[in-house]
């Protein structure tokens, strides 16, 4: 499954109309099944990978400030979703992979309107050294560009070490605080309250979540809220919860 397809799947996981959690989970499961069927000889993400490993990328960088990569000019098709952190990573000569330290300081991308936009990134290492970069994003009628691949570690590329096995075993991200709940009519409801999303590498990516669905607390009934997010590798994950208003 190529990266542009992943983006379209992500868009499909955020329905405008209410759906059940079972249906959303089934869609995710189907994506996983499709991937596993084509992955009979190791991780399909790296089957044709010929680029540098993460270790080589880190070794190639020097100096007291970190570096941001995967921030080339990017085109998004009108109407598609855009995750400014997908495919972007950060390295430091001493701290190594510090992708989890990346912050979005500005993002004016509007994928509903063709035009030229920018995303501003900032990353800081443990010694206080920092780097900022402004990335150009184009929104047009042309097909969405593939998401750049974050270089795999040597263990992930070889697929035969304990580290790689552990990474494979924890390939699913963790959604916290998405239990179905019942609230009383006119009671306030915040879909972000007590919600956490933990990436495959253990970093908190709650701020990257796309949230779909609304709860009308004035009207009794069942409502569905869907949460979707790209993981460290640019793969989509989603989960839904039911909010009952009595």
User: How far apart (Å, rounded) are the C-alpha atoms in residues 221 and 246?
Assistant: 7
Q: What is the pLDDT of residue 45?
A: 63
Domain with residue 98: its CATH number is 2.60.40.10
Displacement of CA 193 from its chain's centroid (Å):
20
Task: Please count the structural domains in the chain.
Answer: 2
- Summarised one tens digit per residue, pLDDT across range 105-115 is 999 999 999 99
71 vs 172 pLDDT, higher one: 71
CA dihedral 137, 138, 142, 144 (to 10 degrees): 10
- Is residue 66 located within the same domain as residue 186? no
Averaged over 40-61, what is the pLDDT? Answer: 77
pLDDT category at 44 given cuts 50, 70, 90 is: low
Domain around 163: 3-45+153-245
So what's the pLDDT on residue 242? 93
Final residue belonging to a domain, choices 117, 140, 163? 140
For the stretch 140-171, pLDDT in tens is: 999 999 888 888 888 888 765 455 444 444 44
Q: Given this model, what pLDDT does residue 95 score? A: 94
**Which SS3 state, helix, strand or coil, does residue 130 take?**
strand
Domain closes at, from 105, 140, 175: 140
pLDDT score recorded for residue 187? 94
**Do 221 and 189 meet the contact criterion of CB atoms below 8 Å apart?**
no
Which whole number is the average pLDDT over 31-56? 60
Strand ranges, E, within 27-170: 67-69, 74-77, 89-92, 96-97, 103-107, 115-124, 130-140
Residues 80 and 159 reside in one and the same domain: no
Worst-scoring range by mean pLDDT, 66-70, 124-128, 174-178?
A: 174-178
Residue 147 included in any domain:
no
- Tens digits of per-residue pLDDT, 226-241? 988 887 777 788 888 9
Co-location of 235 and 168 in the same domain: yes
Q: What is the mean pLDDT of residues 51-75?
A: 94
Residues 93 and 59 in one domain: yes
Share of the chain above pLDDT 70, in %: 74
- In this structure, the answer to whether residues 90 and 121 fall within a common structural domain is yes
Bigger pLDDT: 156 vs 98: 98
With cut-offs at 50, 70 and 90, classify the pLDDT of residue 201: low
Domain-located, residue 148: no
The structure's pTM equals 0.54
Domain closes at, from 89, 111, 140: 140
pLDDT at 9 exceeding the cut of 60: no
How far is residue 155's CA from residue 162's CA, in Å, rounded to a whole number? 8
Q: What confidence score (pLDDT) does residue 24 get?
A: 40
Q: How far is CA 5 from CA 8, 90, 138, in A?
A: 5, 25, 19
Q: Identify whether the C-beta of residue 209 lies closer than 8 Å to the C-beta of residue 176.
A: no
Burial of 193 (0-12, 13-18, 19+ CB in 10 A): exposed
In a domain, 146, yes or no: no
Residue 188 has pLDDT above 90, yes or no: yes
């Amino acid at each position: 499954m190529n990266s542009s397809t992943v983006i379209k799947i992500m868009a499909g996981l955020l329905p405008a109309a209410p759906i059940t959690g079972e249906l959303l989970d089934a869609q995710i499961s189907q994506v996983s099944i499709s991937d596993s069927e084509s992955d009979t000889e190791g991780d399909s993400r790296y089957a044709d990978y010929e680029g540098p490993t993460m270790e080589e990328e880190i070794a190639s960088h020097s100096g007291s400030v970190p570096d941001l990569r995967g921030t080339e000019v990017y085109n998004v098709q009108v109407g598609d979703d855009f995750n400014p952190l997908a495919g972007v990573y950060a390295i430091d000569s001493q701290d190594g992979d510090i992708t989890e330290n990346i912050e979005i300081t500005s993002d004016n991308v509007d994928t509903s309107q063709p035009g030229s936009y920018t995303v501003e990134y900032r990353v800081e290492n443990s010694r206080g050294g920092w780097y900022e970069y402004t990335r150009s994003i184009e929104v047009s009628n042309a097909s969405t560009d593939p998401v750049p691949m974050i270089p795999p570690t040597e263990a992930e590329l070889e697929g035969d070490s304990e580290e790689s096995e552990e990474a494979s075993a924890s390939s699913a991200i963790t959604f916290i605080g998405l239990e179905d709940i019942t609230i009383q009519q006119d009671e306030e409801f915040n879909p972000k309250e007590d919600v956490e999303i933990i990436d495959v590498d253990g970093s908190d990516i709650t701020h990257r979540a796309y949230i779909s669905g609304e709860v009308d607390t004035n009207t009794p009934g069942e409502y569905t809220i869907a949460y979707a997010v790209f993981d460290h590798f640019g793969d989509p994950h989603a989960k839904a919860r039911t909010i009952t208003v009595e």
